[in-house]
Amino acid sequence: MSENIAISAHHLYKAFGRKPKEVVKKLQAGADRSSLSHLGTAAVIDASFDVKAGEIFVVMGLSGSGKSTLIRMLNGLLEPTSGSVTVMGTPISGIPAQKLREVRRSNISMVFQHFALLPHRTVLDNAAYGLEVQGIPLAERRERAQSIVERVGLAGWESKLPGELSGGMQQRVGLARALVSDTDILLMDEAFSALDPLIRREMQEQLVELQSELGKTIIFITHDLNEAMFLGNRIAVMRDGRIVQVGTPDDILTDPANDYVAQFVQDVDRARVLTASGVMEPAKSVVSASAGPRAALRTMRDLQTSAAFVVGNGRTLVGVVRDKDVMRQVRAGETDLSLIVRNDVATIEPDAHLSDMFELSVESPLPVAVIDDKKRLLGVIPRVTLLAALGNVPSHTGEVAIVEPPATYSMEVITETLRETAPAFASEGGTR
């Protein structure tokens, strides 16, 4: 097993009722779930997936889809009827109870929907409870708990009892308790569903922030698609006990596996799910910083566009040149393109959501440039591509020239200018 896999589920089945083994056997032979109700209920059917270390893996489905049963098999609360679960390289299916407790204590913490706080213990003591169970000395566990309590936004509330807190604050205590145990994996079963929408969103944002800081592996169960899309690095969609698709939010939104998933995602706020990297197009109107103005003018003529991105070594974005400035250089016999490069380029990072692009796209006459942390040009997002993505309308594939704004000069004018100036600059290496 790869050291980068935190949890692995292999052909998991869970059936309840009179004859669970027979239910699984018939399912494996191709029987339909609904035809087996006289033998038992198949809650999870042939679920297989790996959860990568450090990712948020969301299991999403409607009530009765099997997601809560699935998560309880992942920490050994339920024994699979068939199949296996491996946690941090250790198989937990069928192992002795003491060994299972050791795995849970070292590797897995749980955050519940209804907080499960001890009512007569303070916030700090509730947060430190897992360490108390482990036998950690009082001073050490309180010190560790204090640090996490502050991190989840409860500084100043350490001495309060759960009954004195709002629902959102109580859930922060539950999250703090899980984090204080410092396990590798957090299992969160509908953890935010009891909260009102505003507090719920705050908790979602805080969870993402904490995960990025602490690098925990999180398996999050939810019936809320928008929550799944916001939180998940990857999402498993469940229906009637089966996982019907596993993919990134972009994958599930833009390439649903079947009609059920497509119907599920049709009302999602696409602007808050789709990312720049998921919709960007390769930029074609690009010239090297070392190229002369004649090469830049040819590129813009051939693509019928009024601008071109200028890149340096390693495709690092330097800026943009406009056809009016390039035309002036060509007519004047100048050869240094860098003199007219403008830096007013709208840029965005590849993992930014489309909702972050609206103002940029409106204010920029050019497509928004997508650049990585080394300022390399990865692609562009023209307005038409942005609108098509938001409206779930297929655009075309392939390389896209900058067409915003349209070319200032006709192809004939540019060609004539290049022809008239060519003799005087025959020695301009590589730019004729």
pLDDT digit string, tens, across residues 387-412: 888 776 655 444 444 445 678 888 89
pLDDT digit string, tens, across residues 327-338: 999 999 899 999
Whole-number Å distance between alpha carbons of 215 and 183: 11
Burial class (CB in 10 A: 0-12, 13-18, 19+), 426: exposed
Q: Could you give the number of structural domains in the chain?
A: 2
Q: Which of 234, 268, 302 is the last residue of a domain?
A: 268
Residues of the chain with pLDDT > 90, as a percent, come to: 44
Is residue 262 domain-shared with residue 286, that is, in the same domain?
no
Is residue 52 domain-shared with residue 159, that is, in the same domain?
yes
Q: Provide the domain limits for residue 27.
A: 5-268
Q: What is the pLDDT of residue 430?
A: 42
Cis peptide before 119 (omega within 30 of 0): no
> Among 145-159, 290-304, 309-323, 378-392, whose mean pLDDT is lowest?
378-392
Is residue 104 domain-shared with residue 54, that is, in the same domain?
yes
Is residue 45 domain-shared with residue 164, that is, in the same domain?
yes
Q: Domain holding 341: CATH number?
A: 3.10.580.10
Q: Is 300 inside a domain boundary? A: yes
Is residue 282 domain-shared with residue 240, that is, in the same domain?
no
The more confident residue out of 1 and 7 is 7
pLDDT digit string, tens, across residues 8-17: 999 999 999 9
Is residue 300 domain-shared with residue 254, that is, in the same domain?
no
Is residue 314 domain-shared with residue 364, that is, in the same domain?
yes
Is residue 21 domain-shared with residue 161, that is, in the same domain?
yes
Q: Which of 209, 235, 268 is the last residue of a domain?
A: 268
Name the β-bridge partners of 400: 283
Is residue 290 domain-shared with residue 255, that is, in the same domain?
no
DSSP string across 327-389:
HHHHHHT---GGGG-B----EE-TT-BGGGTHHHHHH-SSPEEEE-TT-BEEEEE-HHHHHHH
Q: What is the pLDDT of residue 423?
A: 56
pLDDT digit string, tens, across residues 177-197: 888 888 889 999 888 887 888
Is residue 346 domain-shared with residue 283, that is, in the same domain?
yes
Q: Which of 268, 297, 328 is the last residue of a domain?
A: 268
- Tell me: pLDDT of 428 over 50: no
Average pLDDT of span 212-222: 92
Which ranges of 232-350 would DSSP assign to H, the alpha helix?
249-254, 259-265, 276-279, 293-303, 323-332
Is residue 172 domain-shared with residue 260, that is, in the same domain?
yes
Is residue 259 domain-shared with residue 282, that is, in the same domain?
no
- Tell me: pLDDT of 324 over 80: yes
Average pLDDT of span 201-207: 88
Q: Is 210 inside a domain boundary? A: yes
Q: Which helix (H) or strand (E) holds 46?
A: strand 41-52
Q: Is 431 inside a domain boundary? A: no
Q: What is the pLDDT of residue 72?
A: 92
